[in-house]
Every structure is written in C-alpha cells, then in structure tokens.
Amino acid sequence: MASHRRPKQPSRARVTVLTTIATAAVALTSQSAQADPKPSKADVKEKVDHLYHEAEAATEKASGAEEAENKLAKQVDALQDKVARGQDELNEMRESLGSMASAQYRTGGVDPAVQLFLSSDPDSYLEKASTLDQVSAKQAESLQQIQAKQRTLAQQRQEAQSKVTDLAETRKELTKKKKEVQTKLAAAQKLLNTLTAQERDELAKADAERASRGNDRIDLGNEKPTSGRAAAALEAAKTQIGKPYVSGAEGPNAYDCSGLTQWAYGQAGVSLTRTTYTQVNDGTKIGRGELAPGDLVFFSSLSHVALYVGNGQVLHAPKPGTVVRYEAMEWAGSFQFGVRI
C-alpha cells in the first residue's frame, strides 16, 4: 500500500539560517558592485598625473644609475688596461733579469742570488734575495723594481675588482629603476583605459589647451637672458618644440625633462650632468623673483626641471604622452628654486 506521508517541512531554524545566508549573499554582491565603481574622469586624471610624477622621479634615478654605470665602465676599462700594461712591463723586467743570469752563466756561472730567483717562486724569493750580499748593485735594483711592480699590480687588480663589483651593483639598480618606471607607466595606461575614447580625447585636449594656448602665440614678455650661454641654450631648446617626451631620452628625437636641459646647454658648449638631482648643483641657486630666460627651474621635489623663458613661462618636456612645449609655471609642478648656469 502506497505511503501518503507529506514531505517533512523544514524547521523554522533552518528557514531562518537559509534566509540569513541569502540576505548576506545579496548584501555582499551589492557591496562588491559598489566597492569598484567606474572611476570618474577627474579621478583618473588625478591618479594618472600622480603615477606620471612617480614615473618621472624613477626615470631621473634610472638616468643617474645609467650615468654612474657609464662612468664605472670607463674606470674599469682604464684599470684593466693599466693592469695589462703593468703585467707586460713586469714580464719584460723578469726577462731582463733572466738575460743577465744567462750572461753570467756564459762567463763563469750564475750568481747564487739570481740562481735562487730562477729556481723558486719569485714572489716568495724577492724579500730574501734583496738582502743577499752576493747580489750585484744592478741585480739588486732590478729585483727591487720587480718587487715594486708586483705590489703595484696587486693594488691595481684589487681596485679593478672593486670597480667591477660596484658596476654590477649599479647595473642591478638600473634594471630595478627601469622596471619601476615601466610599472608606473603601465598602471597609468591601465587607468586611462577605464575611460572611453571620447573621455581620453577630452583629457588630452584639455591638457594641450591648458599648457600654452598655442605655442606660436604665447607671450614671453621682454625679459633678457643673463649670459650668452643661457641665450644659446634657450634658442637650441626652442628648436625642439613638438618632439615627444620619452622616459630616459636625451635627444635629438625625443627627451625627458633633464635630457632636454642637458641637450640644450650642450649646444651652448656647457656640459650639464644627466639628472635633475645632479643638475641642481651645476650652477648657482636663485629664487623665483631672480629668474631670467635660460635659467633652470626645478619642480616637485626636484624630480622635474624646465628652462625659464620669461613672463612666468617655462619650456620643458612635461610627461609621457606630451611633447616639448611652453607651459605656465603653475602647471609645471610645485616650484622649488632656480639654478643659473
């Protein structure tokens, strides 16, 4: 006979638990949706500008590491060449002493001191041989020269090895800084990609309009450079207007901020160091009220540099996605000080 029992109804406690779980799931889903809203255009711009600033600071440090790497590499090459030449000189000195021993043998025997030198390790022999009474004055002088050359070579080899170690550490630091730059730029691009194409175009257009309102119509006033080299550097920089900003670039097809200032002054016959952090020491520091065309202007914790052009305007390579251009100082960053070259 078929059973007619009704299905067991869930207990009130079980219903309460299920209801609570369902409510919590809905709440979590709602919170998750609210926790990650699409950022506004203004938020994206602020975050991207911050990332570009951080990337620029990392770029300057990378450029400094690259400059140090080049300097160390030249020092290592010079030291290694010096060691090689010294070894050749030492070999010649030993050969000369050997020739002296051969001559003695042909004329009646080898001096005991020279014989000792030729039959044992020269390094352990030299201290003993130099004190032997049998050594002639000429032989003693030759032995002392060899001993001095060996000490010099040992010191040069040690110095070269130390520089090689420094070079390896500097290259490691350079790689780290370059990776940091790329990470910051990638994060900025990822943020920009959250905007629509129209929104990105609007940001770019607003940035260009704010920058100079037309580089060919900008009012630079009538201020004059304080030196011929400043005037020449500024004129050189003006020829680069419109060329793109590229992290680590130093011309002539693209620039970062300190790459532009270094290149411009290079055209004026003045050698500036490579980074903002070192260019601050390439001249005399001055205040904002003392600025004249051609002076360097530093911004944003010294991570950015520009050329002052007059009337509160600068000429610089601003940031990724822009070109060398004029811009009002208030938009270039937080003013630190000027430097007159």
Tokens (6 digits) for 76: 């290592």
Contact 59, 275 (CB under 8 A): no
Q: Of the listed 4, 50, 53, 316, which one is catalytic?
A: 316
Contact 162, 168 (CB under 8 A): no
Contact 236, 228 (CB under 8 A): no
H helices present in 107-121, as ranges:
112-119
Instruction: Give every CB contact of residue 185 below 8 A, 6+ residues apart in sequence.
Output: 51, 52, 55, 247, 320
Q: Give catalytic status of residue 50 as yes or no.
A: no
* Other Cβ atoms within 10 Å of 230 Cβ, number: 25
Q: Give catalytic status of residue 4 as yes or no.
A: no
Q: Give catalytic status of residue 257 as yes or no.
A: yes
Reported as type and span, the H/E element at residue 73 is helix 41-106
DSSP 2-33: ---PPPPPPPHHHHHHHHHHHHHHHHHHHHHH
* Other Cβ atoms within 10 Å of 248 Cβ, number: 18
DSSP 226-279: SSHHHHHHHHHHHTTTTPBB-TT-BSSS-B-HHHHHHHHHHHTT----SSHHHH
Residue 295, CB half-sphere, CA atoms under 13 Å: how many?
25
Given phi > 0 = left and psi -120 to 50 = alpha, else beta, which region is 320? beta
Residue 8, CB half-sphere, CA atoms under 13 Å: how many?
4
> What's 293's DSSP letter?
T
Q: Of the listed 4, 50, 53, 304, which one is catalytic?
A: 304
Q: Of the listed 4, 50, 53, 257, which one is catalytic?
A: 257
Query: What does the buried/exposed string (b/e) look like for 74-103 if buried means 16 or more CB atoms within 10 Å of the residue's CB?
Result: ebbeebeebbeebeeebeebbeebeebbee
Instruction: Enumerate the active-site residues.
Output: 257, 304, 316
